[in-house]
Chains A and B, each alone.
Chain A
Amino acid sequence: MPPPESAIGQIGEFQETLLELLAQDLSLDTLQNRLHEEPAFAPFRDYVQGFEPRMLEVAALLVKKWGKRSAQGGKMTEG
């Protein structure tokens, strides 16, 4: 049985919002505040509250380095 559409929608919103935030030039404080404020993270509050600040910094670095918005075929990234 497939997962309910509502659950898929929540995960999708979570992922979309997370990538958009990480791609912006935000300070760590601002990034953390947005993680607490954005409605997309509300269903995953416990999970997000556990994010380590230094790992958030690295996640932002990874998305800025490897993220691309156009379809140009796959490429190697950090694993």
Chain B
Amino acid sequence: MTRPLVGLSLMLEDDFLRATYPLFESGAVDVLEWSFDTGWPPADVPKWAEELLHFYSESGRLFGHGVSYSILSAGTEDLQQTWLQLFSTEIDRRRYHHISEHFGFSSRRNFHQSAPLPVPLTSATLQLGQERLQCLAQIAKVPVGLENLAFAFSLRDVLDQGRFLDELLAPIDGFVVLDLHNLYCQAMNFERLFEDLLTGYPLPRVRELHIAGGSWSQGIDPRPVRRDTHDGPVPDELFSLLPVVLRECPKVECVILERMGGTLSESESFRRDFFRLKEVVDAAA
């Protein structure tokens, strides 16, 4: 396999800049992923972030990752149309290597945006998602993909997701962004082996990996729930599993380290994660 590129997901907060500046300055960041719709008006994108986006766009190493298209929201066509119009402007403005979005629904008429939640796999939800992806692909004019979701209401959501993603993506020959921490959350929360869940995904479609840390949440039930909060170091288990995933997913082009802005008070540990990621990817390739 060709050695996958290793990159970061761009955040706009000052602590992200402080933590990552030495990485960008030394040229260690191969690719940059940008959740472009977080930068749409009225958001304010700082000058340093604009310069990074320009540099990676011009270098052909900018990856787009939307957060608010909400491909499985039903009866919200006006919201999607507005999003697509802004997306069209985005595509004219910057050059993206490929574009991805999230599985699930995250918006409704009365909720402009929430965290993505799953929907049941039915012929209607499948058709709805396929149509939305067609609209996205027509404008993107580059490969389009979907990221697996961490949250599941039940084991049924967990076990259906690989097939759901495959069938959603088949008409556009789209790709999967396999988020290892999301899969880890599902393995922890539903007491399944990570490797077993992995085999349920369309691995030949995996073109990008995400890796991140998270946290535990506990309510009335004594069993805690693992959440994809992107606010801590990457679990050791994921670094151990990464070579397995890379072996099973021969078309992976890049691995992106994610960390929520505003949670980077310890820059050193974040940079350690980044260099450890590069070492593991180098060794696996």
Is A78 in contact with B43, judged by CB distance below 8 angstroms? Answer: no
Count how many chain A residues have C-beta atoms less than 8 Å from C-beta atoms of the other chain: 48
Q: Which A residues are CB-close (under 8 A) to B128? A: 3, 8, 11
- Chain A residues in 8 Å Cβ range of B131: 2
Query: Nearest A residue to B109 by beta-carbon distance?
Result: A16
- Give min CB distance, A65 to chain B, whole Å: 7
Tell me the count of chain B residues lying within 8 A, CB to CB, of chain A: 63
Say whether B67 contacts A11, CB under 8 Å.
Answer: no
Chain A 1-39 interface mask (CB, 8 Å, partner B; 1/0) = 111100111111011101110010000100000000000
Partner of B115 from the list A9, A47, A63, A69 (CB cut-off 8 Å) is: A63
Query: In the complex, what residue of chain A is closest to B123 when comparing beta carbons?
Result: A3
22 A-B residue pairings within 8 Å (CB atoms): A7-B123, A8-B75, A11-B74, A15-B119, A47-B153, A47-B154, A51-B153, A53-B220, A55-B225, A56-B153, A59-B151, A61-B217, A66-B115, A69-B112, A73-B39, A73-B42, A74-B40, A76-B230, A76-B261, A77-B115, A78-B115, A79-B210
Beyond A7-B122, A73-B38, A78-B150, list 19 extra A-B contacts (CB 8 Å).
A8-B124, A12-B74, A12-B75, A16-B108, A19-B108, A20-B110, A47-B154, A52-B153, A55-B152, A61-B217, A62-B151, A63-B111, A66-B113, A66-B114, A71-B112, A72-B42, A76-B11, A77-B116, A78-B151
